Structure 1
Amino acid sequence: MTDTTGKPLTNAEKQQRYRSKQKKSGKKELRGYLTPEALACYNEIQQKTDWNDSLLLSNAIRLMYAAHKCGQVGLLHTWLTDHKR
């Protein structure tokens, strides 16, 4: 990859360009750390669905939102706690 002057782009410039394109398309980057329990769940879901990190996170947030709208967050939390997940 090169910029308009023909000079090759550095990795930092490529990352900045990529993030800028993602923001323009309406996407937002989220980061965080997973607990060991959440990581086990993540690995299981990833193996069963073959979703990448981005799709897995997007779907997890959408499902959590649906549970919230249906009044099921407490039920889900109880299930996770009971099953040590």
Structure 2
Amino acid sequence: MTNSTGKALTNAEKQKRYRIKQKQSGKKELRGYLTPEALACYSEIQQKTDWNDSLLLSNAIRLMYAAHKCGQIGLLYNWLTEHKR
């Protein structure tokens, strides 16, 4: 990749361009740390679905929203607690 002056882009410049393109397409970057329990769940879901990190996070948030709208957050949280997940 080169910029308008013909010089090769640095890795930081490529990452910045990528983040700008993603932001322009309406996407938002989220970061966080997973607990050991969540990491085990993540690994199991990733293996069964072959989803990448981005798709897995997007679907997880959408599913939580659906559970919230259906009044099932408490039920899901209780299941997670009972099964130590």
1:6 equivalent in structure 2: 6
Q: 5+ unaligned residues in a row in structure 2: which ranges?
A: none
* Distance in 2 of aligned mates of 1:20 and 1:59: 23
Distance of 1:13 and 1:55 partners within structure 2:
25
TM-score, normalised to structure 1's length?
A: 1.00
Gaps of 5+ in 1: none
Residue number in structure 1 paired with 2:28:
28
- Partner residue in 2 for 1:63: 63
Q: Deviations over 1:37-57 (max 9, x none)?
A: 000000000000000000000
Runs of 4+ in 1 over 2 A off after TM superposition: none
The whole-number CA distance in structure 2 between the counterparts of 1:78 and 1:29 is 29
Q: How many residues align?
A: 85
Percent identity reads 87
Amino acid at match of 2:79: W
